[in-house]
Amino acid sequence: MASVYIPVQNSEEEVRVALDQLPRDASDILDILKAEQAPLDLWLIIAREYFKQGKIDQFRQILEEGSSPEIDDYYADVRYERIAILNALGAYYSYLGKIETKQREKEEHFILATQYYNKASRIDMHEPSTWVGKGQLLLAKGEVEQASAAFKIVLDGDRDNVPALLGQACVEFNRGRYSDSLELYKRALQVYPDCPAPVRLGIGLCRYKLGQFEKARQAFERVLQLDPENVEALVALAIMDLRTNEAAGIRKGMVKMQTAFEIYPYCAMALNYLANHFFFTGQHFLVEQLTETALAVTNHGPTKSHSYYNLARSYHSKGDYDKAGVYYMASVKEVNKPHEFVFPYYGLGQVQLKLGDFRSALSNFEKVLEVYPDNCETLKALAHIYVQLGQTDKGQDFIRKATKIDPRDAQAFLELGELLILSDTGSALDAFKTARTLFKKGGQDVPIELLNNIGVLQFERGEFELAQQTFKEALGDGIWLFLINGGNKSSNDIATSTLQFKDMQLFHKLESTGHHIDLPWDKVTVLFNLARLLEQLNDSGTASILYRLILFRFPDYIDAYLRLAAIAKARNNILLSIELVHDALKVNEKCPNALSMLGDLELKNDDWVKAKETLRAASDATDGKDSYATLALGNWNYFAAVRNEKRNPKLEATHLEKAKELYTRVLIQHSANLYAANGAGVVLAEKGHFDVSKDIFTQVQEAASGSVFVQMPDVWINLAHVYFAQGNFSLAVKMYQNCLRKFFYNTDSQILLYLARTHYEAEQWQDCIKTLLRAIHLAPSNYTLRFDAGVAMQKFSASTLQKAKRTADEVRATVAELQNAVRVFSQLSAASNLHIHGFDEKKIDTHVGYCNHLLSAAKVHLEAAEREEQQVRQRQELARQVALAEEARRKAEEQRKFQMERRKQEDELKRVQQQEEHFKRVKEQWKSSSHSRRRERTPEEEEGGTGEKRRKKGGKRRKKDKHSKSHYDNEEGEADMMNEPEMEDEDVDNYREPQTMGNDDAEGNAQDLLAAAGLEDSDAEDDMAAPSSNIARRRQALSESDDDEPIMRQSSPIRENSADMELSDGEIREPKTNGDDGSD
């Protein structure tokens, strides 16, 4: 065993002290050390041995005595040992301050440590070990920057100082600079390879933070090789195994955690992870014990935060939200920023949301969202909170973001549909359908609640078949399918009204025949909605059976009683309906819905006093917060004010004011309540404030039209009533007709009566009669409609007979209507129950007499009208004959003009044909004359012609006489005029007249024309000095020719010109003649 030897003063003897047998009382050792004036290093060795044995008091006693002023004075020359003792005391108190949980004691320990380090510095301010101790003290206090400065002082003097390297590595790790920390740990290990195991633990932690998990695992395993009982390494390896999320890894990790706990039961990290494990196994008692122990043994903020979080989760899962909130809050306080540990913020937000503290929950979830901006659960929670705070748009934005981040999150689409269901039913239905599809794709069962919501929305949108399929899908197989598919038809006497609503023998018979009647509680609502749908489809018999099935299994389901009562009420069985409502009240005598319905039924049963008491009880049952009960009470006051009995103006005003007060109270509670606003408008209209009431009705109509959940025909009717009261009959008619078409499919006799009254007041008698006849067709037993129809016929007849001018057809129609009116009144007079319908027999007889009087008067009017009609017919016949004669004359005149025009066109056509024939004849003459002339030409002329052609090819042209050129142009222009297809009569006559040209002019211009055409004599150019002789010869030739020769000679230059054009231009132009120069 290890021993130390204390030298005896003034002797060579030594006192042997076995370190494993140190006395319990350190005073004995101190006495020896002091008496023998033992070296201070022995003091330090013995104190360290006491510390290793866990004898902290003895350790502290020896070191404190070794640092006393007496010892300092005696060992004034010994510096290093004195500094070592002081540094040991400083390190001890630094450790105490680090592990202390109470703040006051912590500060006291740090003060003592600071004092010892300062005392050591006064001995030698450059001692590295003192600066290393100060750095560790500052690091324990959390003053990272100052600690780094202390370590750097040491490293500046000795860059291989291992304690300083390790201290600086801790500083860099706390700063988050894991790479720098890792390099420092490596340097320390290189400088001193025999470093203790915790150095490699630091290396493993750095590797882990850097994501180098395999190398981190190797480092932790190396630590365990060096120190098999190193708790920190065991915990680190256990955490790595747990993070694999595999069953084998989790088992290994828990084994290591358990080993660490057995080695050192006060390791807070191990305690927290064990508590987390037992939380998921449901052993909350162990969770609470372990976390409380962890909180007692640690003062590290993040570790305590985890401990509080585990404790809070345990209480949260048990439903103790108050304690859970306290511990969540404690966990949050131990964390400086949400990024360090965000889970307690999420848990605290959940608890606050559960407790209704929406503002605080919003703040905590927003902090979670800062750390994880794409966390769908947080987004959904924020969406719910914003909806609760009335910020629906923000809530929808958050839930939409969640669906975009994770399009496969069926729950997100489900919550989106629930948010949209009040504002956008179409989008809500789409979201629900998407959620259903995702559930099916994921292989999960579609929640019944989801299918129920889809069915309800389809029901509200009028998609009844789809809604029925969805409800059946939600219900699945069961006895209800047998009942819906007609299995109930086998039961006897099911058609009677009493059995349809109250009898349960049907189900007992089904059970006796072997049918299993079971209705799970989660399908009751779906079955109720299916029955409600069957009501809408007019299958009230099957609906009543389903309602009774619900009551057979769940007799306290009040809504089923109320729906059965509603069916009975629709069949006008008021007494049975009241009985069913009383059955509902037996379940809950203060049910506001049942009381309100009972009050309404009592009103219909004309039991005004009971109705008032019942409606007041319904309002009191909810402390005036139930809008329906308050509205029903307001309606009672309104109906009491406008009853048909003799009105008391004062009492009427009182009831109207009370009704207005009740409607206003509802509007104060729920400003968007359309029924209350409609009631207020009715009261104002009764008081004569038509403009204000019209504005209210218009706003209510607009609001109701924008919602598929609200059907309010009353507001349309009231608005039409206001138009009627203001005398605006056309708008009133349109409003009644729109209401009748939109809500009642043109089948409501009461609205038809309103419409007929409007036509009556507008003196539109025929429309009034037609409308009343439609109403009678719908309600043939309503004698009031028949009476009104008779009055309308009578009024129509009287107004027609009073007209100053009337046709025989009108008088005949009047007679027919009077006969119908007499027939109607006679039928009413023959009825035996006139007083039941409110008719007076004498009054009906008066109407019959008046109609008969009008019939007798109408005969005279009819004869006069027929005579006048005969006269009018005769005048019309005479006018018709005159018109026919005039028409015949006009047609004859038009025929004559047509024939004249036709003859004129035929004559014109003949003239044109003659002109064409003449033109052809002249053309043939030109051709024959030109041919003969060419044959008679002399060789000299041929040479002259050839020379002329050559001259033309050489580009030499003769200058033409201005007069001859204009004459040639004139001839071409006139020839063009001859080719026009149509000519006026006057031009044709001129053309036929023989026109001659003066011989002198013709002969004088002939040579010029030949020259212009390039066909003149070849010698003419040399003989220009004697033009007059040529002219004379031509005149003589012309005078000696026969009758046709002038024409040939006159046309020959043109023909020659044409021949020349054929040679020069390569195309033949038809000759043109001038009307002034031609002859027949």
Per-state percent for the chain, helix, strand, coil, to nearest 5: 75, 0, 25
Look at residue 707 in the predicted model and tell me its pLDDT. Answer: 65
Q: Are 380 and 350 in contact (CB under 8 A)?
A: no
Structure tokens belonging to residue 248:
């084998």
Helix (H) or strand (E) segment spanning residue 350: helix 343-355
Which is it for the CA torsion 758, 763, 769, 771, positive or negative? Answer: negative
**What CA–CA distances, in Å, run from 31 to 14, 28, 37, 67?**
15, 5, 10, 15
Place of tokens 């109407």: 847
Rounded Cα gap, residues 921 and 457, in angstroms: 99
Rounded Cα gap, residues 232 and 228, in angstroms: 11
Rounded Cα gap, residues 360 and 366, in angstroms: 10
**Beta bridge mates, 17:** 4
Look at residue 647 in the predicted model and tell me its pLDDT. Answer: 66
In three-state form (DSSP H/G/I as H, E/B as E, the rest C), the secondary structure along 930-961 is: HHHHHHCCCHHHHHHHHHHHHHHHCCCCCCCC
Rounded Cα gap, residues 91 and 99, in angstroms: 13
Q: Are 978 and 1075 in contact (CB under 8 A)?
A: yes
- Residues recorded for the chain: 1080
What is Dmax (Cα atoms) for the chain?
198
**What CA–CA distances, in Å, run from 319 to 314, 322, 325, 326?**
9, 9, 11, 13
Rounded Cα gap, residues 507 and 549, in angstroms: 8
Q: Are 206 and 178 in contact (CB under 8 A)?
A: yes
Look at residue 709 in the predicted model and tell me its pLDDT. Answer: 59
Long-range contacts, stretch 521-525, CB < 8 angstroms, 24+ apart: 521/554, 522/448, 523/448, 523/474, 523/475, 523/476, 523/478, 524/550, 524/553, 524/554, 524/557, 525/452
Closest CA to 368 of 397, 417, 328: 328
Report the phi/psi class of residue 1070: left, alpha or beta, with left for phi > 0 and alpha for psi in -120 to 50: beta
Helix (H) or strand (E) segment spanning residue 18: strand 14-18
Hey, is 16 helix, strand or coil? strand
Rounded Cα gap, residues 632 and 595, in angstroms: 10
Rounded Cα gap, residues 1076 and 993, in angstroms: 9
958, HSE (Cβ side, Cα atoms, 13 Å): 24
Structure tokens belonging to residue 874:
């005769």
Rounded Cα gap, residues 1020 and 956, in angstroms: 16
Rounded Cα gap, residues 1054 and 1060, in angstroms: 10
Q: Are 291 and 275 in contact (CB under 8 A)?
A: yes
Instruction: Quick: pLDDT tens for 674-716.
Output: 899 999 999 999 999 999 999 999 999 888 886 655 788 999 9
Instruction: Quick: pLDDT tens for 335-381.
Output: 888 888 899 999 999 999 999 899 999 999 999 999 999 999 999 99
Place of tokens 């006393």: 68
Look at residue 933 in the predicted model and tell me its pLDDT. Answer: 58
Q: Are 459 and 467 in contact (CB under 8 A)?
A: yes
Look at residue 487 in the predicted model and tell me its pLDDT. Answer: 57
**How many angstroms separate the first and last alpha carbons of the chain?**
171
Rounded Cα gap, residues 949 and 943, in angstroms: 10
Look at residue 1006 in the predicted model and tell me its pLDDT. Answer: 42
Look at residue 534 in the predicted model and tell me its pLDDT. Answer: 92
**What CA–CA distances, in Å, run from 818 to 323, 767, 771, 772, 850?**
89, 16, 18, 16, 10
User: CB neighbours of 930 closer than 8 A, spacing ≥ 6?
Assistant: 1052, 1055, 1056, 1059
Place of tokens 């003053």: 143
Q: Are 87 and 120 in contact (CB under 8 A)?
A: yes
Residues of the chain with pLDDT under 50: 1, 488-499, 938-1080
**What CA–CA distances, in Å, run from 639 to 176, 595, 774, 821?**
80, 18, 28, 34
**What CA–CA distances, in Å, run from 666 to 189, 595, 625, 632, 636?**
82, 18, 8, 11, 15
Hey, is 416 helix, strand or coil? helix
Rg of the chain over all Cα atoms, to the nearest angstrom: 62
